[in-house]
Each structure stands twice: as structure tokens, then as C-alpha cells.
């Protein structure tokens, strides 16, 4: 497993000391990298997902690095499950200061072949799930009279994404949700931003044709895939005091894909 070389010139040790960070989809890939980065910077972690076996393995790997972490099962599509998660955290006095909405998923299919149920499931997971987690988080912070911070992970939205009509629509919804909630919750001192990773070297790329992937990477301005740790450090920046004057943005972290239109995943 790749270690995470925190750049001390950018992030000081203990940056998030005394804060609790809740990361959904924290059991693997980008979510695990985000959790590791925040933990190495001093945050107490709660990682949450449906796959409890993978989640427990991830939690143990973080503990092996000296990071304080708790794993929690949650189905973000189910509002009762979301509410139960936040109730458990409140009982343990672990109300999160920072929420990273990383959980999501989709399948590739031509738009003509996507069933109503398949479209609904992807929208419920990526858009509705993000909203339900954000709402529960905000309600808890506002009730306590405390500021908060949310970072959403989305797909790059500069172009359409063939084969991903359901996911692209849902993630575009999350981008506008980010902007709208930034308006509504600013008075409660809750900042909300989004990061849109491009082609990141995770296990998820195993589902794509290697030759097409390599050819697409060569068309990027930065001719390589991104690393999960790079996304994690961008999340840490947006969650940090260095970004205290930033809210309602969606930051593309895609090697220049938004400029060229090249998509290695197509």
C-alpha cells in the first residue's frame, strides 16, 4: 500500500488536531487516501461505508499508522441509516467537524440501455445520498452553534461522459447542490466545496481498456494519471484554514482534461 508523503511545506503537523473528520466511502481508493491524509494531519477519523469487511481492513491499516479511527456502517441512500449514524456519533460525542462526501458509484451503459431503476439507483446514491449526509451534518452543527466544513467528491463536469448519463447527471446535481448549500448555510458558518478528480490511479480503472486508457492519458496536458494522495491533499487544503475564504467552488483536478476534452476513461 502506498504511503502518503504529506508535504510539510504546505501542511503543518497537527493541522486538524482536535477535529473529527467523517469520510464516506473511506474503505478504499480516493476515500482511504483522504482519510489517511486527514489522519496524518491530526484529525480523529470516522470512515463509513456499506462494505463493513473492507472498512474494517482500512481502519486497521490506518491504526497501524498511528491514526485514531472508528469505522461505521452506513447506507447513504437510506435516510434512516444516515440519521442512525449521526445519532451514534452524537451519543459518543464524536460529532464531525468535517464531512467528506466521497461515497458514490455507477456502472457504464449506453443511455438507451439504462433502465428507470438503474438510473434512479445511481441518482439516489450519488446525489440524494450526498444531500442526506450533508443535511444531517448541517443540522447537527447548527443545533450545536458550531461551524462546519463539507467537501464533496464529484466527476469532472466540463464535458458529457458517454456511457455515464445517469452518473454525470447526478454528479452535476452535486456540483449545483454544493453551490446552493454554500449560499444557504453560509450564515451558519458552514463552508461547502467540491473536488472533481479526473483519471486517478485506483482499482476502479481495472474496468477500462488499458490501451484506450494509455492513449487517453497521453492527450492530457499533464501526461500521467493522478494519484489518490493528490486528491487527498486538495481536500485537506479546502478543509483547512488556508481555504477559509473559499466556499461554493468545484475544483477540477484532472491534469488539464477540462481544457483538452480528452478523457482517458472513454
Is pLDDT of 156 > 70? no
Q: What is the mean pLDDT of the chain?
A: 88
Q: Torsion-angle region of residue 255: left (phi > 0), alpha (psi -120 to 50) or beta?
A: left
* Segment among 30-39, 104-113, 187-196 with least mean pLDDT: 104-113
Instruction: Report whether 42 contacts 119 (CB < 8 A).
Output: no
Question: Which residue has better confidence, 109 or 205?
Answer: 109
Q: Which three cell numbers stand for residue 194?
A: 467540491
Instruction: Report whether 85 contacts 7 (CB < 8 A).
Output: no
pLDDT reported for residue 219: 76
Is pLDDT of 2 > 60? no
C-alpha angle 209-231-82 in degrees, rounded to nearest 5: 95
Burial bucket for residue 237 (CB in 10 Å: 0-12, 13-18, 19+): middle
Cβ partners under 8 Å of residue 160, min gap 6? 168
DSSP per residue over 232-254, as a string?
HHHHHHHHSGGGTT--S-EEEES
pLDDT class of 168 with cuts at 50, 70, 90: confident
pLDDT reported for residue 171: 86
pLDDT reported for residue 1: 44
Q: pLDDT digits over 212-252, tens only?
A: 667 777 777 876 877 999 999 999 999 999 999 999 999 99
For 151, other C-beta atoms within 10 Å of its C-beta total 26
pLDDT reported for residue 48: 96
**Sign (positive/negative) of CA torsion 137, 140, 143, 147?**
negative
* Segment among 85-99, 198-212, 223-237 with least mean pLDDT: 198-212
Separation of alpha carbons 86 and 200, rounded Å:
30
pLDDT reported for residue 158: 62
Closest C-alpha to 230, from 197, 264, 194, 191: 197
Q: Which three cell numbers stand for residue 223?
A: 501526461
Q: Which helix (H) or strand (E) holds 180?
A: helix 165-185
Give me the architecture of the 20-253 domain, per CATH. Answer: 3-Layer(aba) Sandwich (3.40)
Q: pLDDT digits over 252-266, tens only?
A: 987 777 777 656 555
Instruction: Report whether 177 contacts 124 (CB < 8 A).
Output: no
Q: Give mean pLDDT, residues 165-172.
A: 87
Is pLDDT of 174 > 50? yes
pLDDT reported for residue 135: 98
Q: What is the pTM of this model?
A: 0.90
pLDDT reported for residue 181: 98
Amino acid at each position: 500500500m502506498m504511503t502518503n508523503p504529506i508535504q510539510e511545506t504546505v501542511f503543518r503537523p497537527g493541522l486538524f488536531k482536535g477535529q473529527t473528520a467523517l469520510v464516506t466511502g473511506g474503505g478504499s481508493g480516493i476515500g482511504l487516501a483522504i482519510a489517511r491524509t486527514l489522519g496524518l494531519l491530526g484529525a480523529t477519523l470516522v470512515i463509513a461505508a456499506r462494505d463493513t469487511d473492507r472498512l474494517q481492513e482500512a481502519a486497521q491499516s490506518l491504526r497501524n499508522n498511528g491514526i485514531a479511527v472508528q469505522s461505521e456502517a452506513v447506507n447513504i441512500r437510506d435516510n434512516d441509516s444516515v440519521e442512525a449514524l449521526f445519532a451514534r456519533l452524537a451519543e459518543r460525542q464524536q460529532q464531525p467537524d468535517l464531512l467528506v462526501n466521497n461515497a458514490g458509484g455507477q456502472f457504464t451503459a449506453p443511455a438507451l440501455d439504462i433502465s428507470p431503476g438503474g438510473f434512479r439507483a445511481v441518482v439516489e446514491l450519488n446525489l440524494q445520498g450526498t444531500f442526506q449526509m450533508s443535511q444531517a451534518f448541517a443540522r447537527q452543527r447548527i443545533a450545536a452553534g458550531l461551524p462546519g466544513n463539507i467537501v464533496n467528491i464529484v466527476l469532472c463536469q466540463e464535458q458529457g461522459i458517454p456511457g455515464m448519463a445517469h452518473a454525470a447527471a447526478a454528479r452535476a446535481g452535486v456540483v449545483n447542490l454544493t453551490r446552493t448549500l454554500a449560499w444557504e448555510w453560509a450564515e451558519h458558518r458552514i463552508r461547502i466545496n467540491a473536488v472533481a478528480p479526473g483519471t486517478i490511479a485506483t482499482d476502479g480503472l481495472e474496468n477500462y481498456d488499458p490501451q484506450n486508457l494509455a492513449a487517453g492519458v497521453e492527450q492530457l496536458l499533464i501526461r500521467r494519471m493522478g494519484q489518490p494522495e493528490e486528491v487527498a491533499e486538495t481536500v485537506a487544503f479546502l478543509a483547512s484554514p488556508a481555504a477559509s475564504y473559499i466556499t461554493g467552488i468545484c475544483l477540477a483536478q484532472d491534469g488539464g482534461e477540462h481544457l483538452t476534452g480528452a478523457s482517458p476513461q472513454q
